[in-house]
Amino acid sequence: MAILRRLTHPKVWPVRWRLAVGSAGLTLAILLVFAAVIGHLATQRIRNDFNREMHTAVTTLAAQVRVTETPSGPLVTSPELDDFALPNGAVVRIFDSTGRVRARTHNAPHLGLPRPGVTHVGSLRVVSTPILGEGGPPVGYVQYARSDQHIDSTIERLWLFVAAGVLGGVLLASLAGLAIANQAMRPIASLTATAGEITSTRDPSRRMPQPDIDDEVGELARTLDQMLRSLDAARTEREQAMQQQREFVADASHELRTPLTSVIANLELLQASLPSPQGSEDHEMVDSALRSSRRMSRLVADLLLLARADAGRISERTDCDLAEIAGNAAAEVAPVAGGRRLNLDNGRPVPIHGNPDELHRMVVNLLDNAVRHTPDGSTIELRLRVDGDKATIEVADDGPGIPDAMREHVFDRFVRGSGPADTAIGGGTGLGLAIVRAVARSHGGEVKASQSSLGGALVTVTLPLRKTEQPITPSLGAL
């Protein structure tokens, strides 16, 4: 149906086809007018020539006929009529002044009495002329007739030839128009192909092909090329500015860690040195400041990790066992899990090449996210398995799950969950799962969210395995 609409709607035809059809339509209109005029003039010329031949023949014959009055009646003297009429297949009859036929060709049909001008009898065209005497009235008449069927056949062939000429001209005009359109559209097609490649690769540094002819298409190509140069320059400037911002955030986050560590250490010393009893106003002020400082320290650590990932800074990598890292992370999260059941399912080592601290942080964030968004009594499962050359980490729970609309955005930065199951004070920072994705991608892996078989959320991380022949003995047990 779509193809039919495309074929029946000229506005959606390609430009080359519209140019060819327009050229063919204009040629058809011109040739139709020309053919009508030429055909009509040629037809009139053929009929007039035929009539002129008949008038000439009958006048010539009338000049050679003699009618002499005798006591027994008019005597007609004429050349041999059959010899005169045979070359043209004509029919001749000669009348005297009384209207009686005095001579005729062999098997001449009845043509009626002679009448002035041109008349038609059946398929014969008849011309009559008087035989004049010496200064007196007509002494007889010559009736000359010829068939006009060959004239009609000639005219039909003429119109057929004209129609064939019109169709041939339209066809040639269509082919010529299509060839010219293809030639004219070839540079535009090259520009379109290059623009499509730039769109797919998002690389404005590509250059537009420059046509050899300096025409409108060449001007368009130069304009597009200048536009791409401007876009490429703007993109370069933007990337440089963004890279500088990433470097600044990474450096600032790194510099903030030292004073924050010092502040936390001093607050802890101050807390330990307070002589007042626990629960006093001084203790509450110090505890509040210490909690805020620790929360700020965690936030700065998160921003530093993300800033380094954005800036393309690769941390130190080493050979490690993902199963051991996951076990340590689960052991770290277990004390804060409350009434939730944390199950670890892993029976073999998972060797990978990466940064143990970042991987540990990734697994901790996954488990912490599951703890914070599930109510007490929920079950959280941490599963590790090897699929071919990939290591897979799955964290599943039987909580409320992740809404379908949020599954594509839950790994974006500063995206927070909501609902009665969220146990984070203040709703969290919204960077936990963003860090999970940053760590996974920096190690050549990927992460996705879906629904688990338990009915809640399922977060799956895939990482490439380390190519090794030496097995790693896992050092984790059941939690």
* Residues annotated as part of the active site: 254
Contact assessment for residue 92 and residue 104, using Cβ atoms and an 8 Å cutoff: yes
Radius of gyration for the chain, computed over Cα atoms and rounded to the nearest angstrom: 53
The sign of the CA dihedral 421, 423, 429, 432 is negative
Token pair of 128 as six digits: 């009559």
Mind giving me the DSSP string for 363-391? Answer: HHHHHHHHHHTS-TT-EEEEEEEEETTEE
Q: Please state, in angstroms and rounded to a whole number, the distance separating the CA atoms of residues 151 and 47.
A: 7
Can you list the pairs that 107-113 forms with residues at least 24 positions away whose Cβ atoms lie under 8 Å? 111/143, 111/145
Separation between Cα atoms, residue 114 and residue 99, nearest integer Å: 8
- Classify residue 31 as exposed, middle or buried by CB count within 10 Å of its CB (0-12, 13-18, 19+): buried
C-beta contacts of 211-216 below 8 A and 24+ residues apart:
211/187
Number of residues that make up the chain: 479
Residue 463: CB atoms within 10 A of its CB come to 23
Contacts of 300 (CB under 8 A, 6+ apart): 253, 256, 257, 260
Edge-to-edge strand list for the sheet holding 118-121 = 101-104, 91-96, 138-147, 124-132, 118-121
Measure the CA–CA gap between 349 and 476, rounded to whole angstroms: 10
Helix (H, G, I), strand (E, B) or coil at 36: helix
323 in Cβ contact with 476 (< 8 Å):
yes
Return the bridge partners of 354, or none.
Answer: 318
Strands 124-132 and 66-70: unpaired
